[in-house]
Amino acid sequence: MSTLQQIAENLMKGKANDVKALVEKALQEGEAPGKILNQGLLAGMSVIGERFKKNEVYVPEVLIAARAMKAGMSVLQPKLVAAGVEPVGVAVIGTVKGDLHDIGKNLVGMMLEGAGFKVVDLGIDCAAEKFLQSAREHKAAVIGVSALLTTTMTNMKSVVDAVKASELAGKVKVMIGGAPVTQAFCDEIGADGYAPDAASAADLARRLIGR
Per CB under 6 A, residues contacting ligand B1M are: 59, 98-105, 107-108, 144-146, 148-151, 175-180, 195, 197-198, 201
Shortest Å distance, C-beta 150 to ligand B1M: 4
Between CA 210 and CA 147, with CA 186 as vertex, the angle to 5 degrees is 105
Return the number of the residue (29 or 187) whose C-beta is nearest ligand B1M. 187
Shortest Å distance, C-beta 38 to ligand B1M: 23
Shortest Å distance, C-beta 205 to ligand B1M: 8
Shortest Å distance, C-beta 145 to ligand B1M: 5
Return the number of the residue (80 or 209) whose C-beta is nearest ligand B1M. 209
Packed helices 103-114 and 198-208: angle between N→C axes, nearest 10 degrees: 50
Q: What contacts 143, CB < 8 A, 6 or more positions away?
A: 91, 92, 93, 131, 135, 159, 163, 172, 173, 174, 175
Shortest Å distance, C-beta 115 to ligand B1M: 13
End-to-end CA distance of the chain: 29
Return the number of the residue (22 or 131) whose C-beta is nearest ligand B1M. 131
Alpha helices in 115-209 (DSSP H): 128-137, 156-164, 183-189, 198-208
Return the number of the residue (6 or 95) whose C-beta is nearest ligand B1M. 95
